[in-house]
């Protein structure tokens, strides 16, 4: 089981949380491949923690659907089900659209500037065809809006859905295009104008378009 040596080891105080975040990230980005068997002793040594936080993290990851634990046998990374995009993106699109509407009363010039600068970084990554980075920045862009919605329930559910979408996108090499850049600009413009309905509509389309692009990619 290959484990990267260059990473930040968690401190004792936050061992469980740090171990969980690192393992989840490795599963999402493919460092730990679908179907790979996980050894808690090796993971504990790699992360510089005891086996207890590793076991607790694996239990949480099983609840999330990232690993499957077979008592007395093995723990394996779950497979990536491509068709799950049809179940993941519609609720995520709806919550992101709602976030755009709820965010408007909480916006100020600093937030708008943050959105514009984030979209500029996103555009640069797309133009450089650095799609791995583009995916991460795209998530940052949308997270700014979710944070401004100031709804803990939306925040929690979006975070859960987003981890699975991120994994699906990474493993299937989803390519973000110029169209996404322009949609981000439209979202920012409508947010600045206080037009929640139009901002939500563009936001929803921005997410749902990925389903069509993904399905068209499968038929190529």
CATH (domain of 22): 1.10.10.10
Q: Is the dihedral of CA 41, 44, 50, 54 positive or negative?
A: negative
19 and 71 share one domain: yes
Q: What is the pLDDT of residues 155-192, one digit of tens each?
A: 999 999 999 998 988 887 677 788 999 999 999 999 99
- Tell me, what's the pLDDT at 92? 96
CATH number of the structural domain spanning residue 187: 1.20.120.530
21 lies in a domain?
Answer: yes
Beta bridge partners of 67: 77
Q: What span, in angstroms and rounded, lies between the C-alpha atoms of 145 and 96?
A: 8
Has residue 8 been placed in a domain?
no
Residues 69 and 88 in one domain: no
Other beta carbons less than 10 A from residue 192's beta carbon: 15
Question: How do residues 92-111 score in pLDDT, each as one tens digit?
Answer: 999 999 999 999 999 999 99
**Could you count the other beta carbons within 10 Å of the beta carbon of residue 31?**
15
Q: Closest Cα to residue 169, out of 11, 12, 20, 28?
A: 28
Element (H, E) at 176: none
Same domain, 43 and 139: no
Domain boundary among 29, 44, 77: 77
Other CB atoms within 10 Å distance of the CB of residue 62: 14
Which of residues 52, 77, 102 is at a domain's end?
Answer: 77
Structural domain span for residue 33: 15-77
Residues 50, 103, single domain; the answer is no
Domain shared by 54 and 124, yes or no: no
Question: What pLDDT, on a 0 to 100 scale, did the predictor assign at position 132?
Answer: 82
The residue among 59, 77, 95 that closes a domain is: 77
Identify the weakest region by mean pLDDT among 76-80, 175-179, 188-192, 194-198.
175-179
Same-domain status, 64 and 86: no
Angstrom distance (rounded) from CA 149 to CA 142: 11
Contacts of 87 (CB under 8 A, 6+ apart): none
Q: How long is the chain?
A: 220
- 141 with 44, same domain: the answer is no
Higher-confidence residue: 71 or 194? 194
Q: What mean pLDDT is predicted for residues 126-145?
A: 92
Whether residue 90 is found in the same domain as residue 178: yes
For residue 31, give both structure tokens.
Answer: 């460092």
Contacts of 22 (CB under 8 A, 6+ apart): 7, 10, 47
DSSP 8-state assignment for residue 84: G
Please check whether residues 66 and 155 belong to one and the same domain.
no
**pLDDT, tens digit (0-9, with 9 covering 90-100), for 11-63:** 445 788 889 999 999 999 889 999 999 999 999 999 999 999 999 999 999 99
Classify burial at 127, counting beta carbons within 10 Å of its beta carbon; exposed 0-12, middle 13-18, buried 19 or more: exposed
- 181 and 122, same structural domain? yes
2 is a domain residue: no
Gap between the Cα atoms of 169 and 82, Å rounded:
9
pLDDT at position 4 is: 62
| Inside any domain, residue 188 | yes
Q: Are residues 61 and 126 in the same domain?
A: no
- Per-residue model confidence (pLDDT) at position 170: 83
* Bridge partners for 77 per DSSP: 67
Number of structural domains (the chain) is 2
């Amino acid at each position: 089981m290959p484990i990267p040596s260059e990473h930040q080891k968690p401190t004792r105080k936050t061992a469980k949380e740090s171990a969980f975040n690192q393992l989840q990230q490795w599963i999402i980005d493919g460092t730990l491949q679908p179907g790979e068997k996980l050894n808690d002793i090796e993971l504990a040594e790699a992360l510089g923690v005891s086996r207890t936080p590793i076991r607790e993290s694996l239990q949480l990851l099983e609840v999330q659907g990232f690993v499957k634990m077979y008592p007395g046998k093995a723990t394996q990374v779950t497979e990536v089900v491509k068709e799950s995009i049809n179940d993941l993106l519609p609720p995520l699109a709806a919550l992101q659209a709602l976030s755009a509407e709820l965010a408007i009363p909480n916006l100020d010039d600093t937030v708008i500037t943050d959105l514009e600068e984030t979209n500029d970084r996103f555009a640069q990554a797309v133009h450089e065809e650095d799609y791995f980075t583009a995916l991460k920045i795209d998530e940052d862009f949308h997270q700014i809006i979710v944070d401004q919605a100031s709804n803990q329930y939306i925040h929690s559910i979006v975070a859960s859905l987003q981890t699975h979408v991120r994994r699906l996108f990474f493993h299937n090499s989803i390519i973000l295009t110029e169209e996404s850049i322009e949609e981000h600009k439209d979202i920012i413009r409508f947010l600045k104008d206080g037009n929640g309905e139009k901002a939500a509509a563009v936001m929803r389309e921005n997410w749902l378009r990925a389903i069509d692009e993904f399905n068209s990619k499968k038929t190529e």
